[in-house]
């Protein structure tokens, strides 16, 4: 059952993207954060752009045909399976989220091509072993073949960087060489002192539940993997040469993106 009295990050994110699948409590939270961080909608849009470009590269250039998207969020334009299956109609995608509302919408709207497959799992990022063992995942993905794990704007809900890194390792350890992980994570590296203070105040009051990381801390998440060019950069700058200008500044975006390969 969906709890309409509690904020959920996926519905709040949907609100920032201009969607309608959210409740009053999500909009109130979104407006409060936007008041303190006026560019948050730019952040949300650029984060989706990173997802699109990362999936495009992985499907078109790296030849990946299997994707595991954890922390899916509510359906919007250019979802993982849409981007991948435009390039490779036989691509297979498993979506994972811990919000029943997200999964109801996903099952209704995230439909596969006839050649490919999609599946939807209700599970929590914090239990990667359960995700990997789910029969629905095993039915769609062949874990003997490369898989791209999409962790887009989800690891920053794990406060401890060591714990977040353990989750990434657990997922990648179960996958063969040639698998990838794509990560985006909020950062305060480009923020001024006033912005940092506002962020800290929201966190202290329990009004914000995302934990920022430095570039070095994001690097810990992909330790032991081969980081693709251009490295750990603001999501707006990750292989964005063909994006229309003017591009937002790193401070406006405040999210790092990285894609890494398991050798």
Q: Where are the domains of the chain?
A: 9-261
Look at residue 75 in the predicted model and tell me its pLDDT.
67
Strand ranges (DSSP E) for the chain?
A: 66-70, 92-97, 117-122, 148-152, 180-186, 226-227, 233-234, 255-261
Look at residue 1 in the predicted model and tell me its pLDDT.
58
Look at residue 166 in the predicted model and tell me its pLDDT.
98
Read off the pTM: 0.92
Measured over all CA atoms, what is the biggest interatomic distance in the chain, rounded to whole angstroms? 52
Question: For residues 53 and 262, is the Cβ–Cβ distance under 8 A?
Answer: no
Look at residue 41 in the predicted model and tell me its pLDDT.
92
Overall fold of domain 9-261: Rossmann fold (3.40.50)
Place of tokens 């964005």: 240
Give tens-digit pLDDT for 226-249: 999 999 999 999 999 989 889 999
Collect contacts of 188-193 with beta carbons under 8 A, ≥24 apart.
Answer: 188/212, 188/254, 189/214, 189/215, 189/250, 189/256, 190/234, 190/249, 190/250, 190/251, 190/254, 191/251, 191/254, 192/251
Task: Find the angle CA(189)-CA(190)-CA(195) to the nearest 5 degrees.
Answer: 100
Look at residue 36 in the predicted model and tell me its pLDDT.
87
Residues in the chain predicted with pLDDT less than 50, given as ranges, are: none
């Amino acid at each position: 059952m969906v709890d309409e009295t509690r904020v959920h990050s996926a519905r709040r994110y949907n609100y920032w993207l201009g969607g309608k699948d959210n409740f009053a409590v999500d909009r109130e939270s979104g407006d409060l954060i936007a008041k303190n961080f006026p560019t948050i909608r730019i952040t949300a849009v650029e984060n989706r752009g990173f997802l699109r470009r990362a999936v495009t590269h992985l499907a078109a250039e790296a030849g990946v045909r299997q994707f595991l998207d954890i922390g899916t969020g509510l359906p919007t334009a250019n979802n993982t399976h849409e981007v991948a299956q435009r390039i490779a109609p036989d691509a297979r995608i498993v979506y994972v989220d811990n919000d029943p509302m997200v999964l109801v919408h996903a099952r209704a709207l995230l439909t596969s091509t006839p050649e490919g497959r999609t599946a939807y799992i209700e599970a929590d990022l914090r239990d990667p072993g359960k995700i990997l063992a789910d029969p629905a995942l095993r039915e769609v993905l062949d874990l003997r073949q490369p898989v791209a794990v999409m962790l887009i704007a989800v690891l920053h809900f794990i406060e401890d960087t060591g714990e977040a890194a353990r989750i990434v390792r657990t997922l990648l350890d179960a996958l063969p060489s040639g698998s990838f992980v794509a990560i985006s994570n909020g950062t305060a590296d480009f923020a001024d002192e006033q912005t940092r203070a506002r962020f800290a105040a929201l966190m202290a009051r329990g009004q914000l539940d995302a934990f920022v990381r430095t570039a070095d801390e994001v690097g810990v998440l992909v330790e032991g993997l081969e980081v693709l060019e251009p490295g750990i950069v603001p999501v707006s700058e990750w292989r964005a040469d063909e994006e229309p200008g003017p591009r937002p500044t790193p401070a406006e975006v405040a999210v790092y993106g990285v894609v890494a390969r398991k050798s």
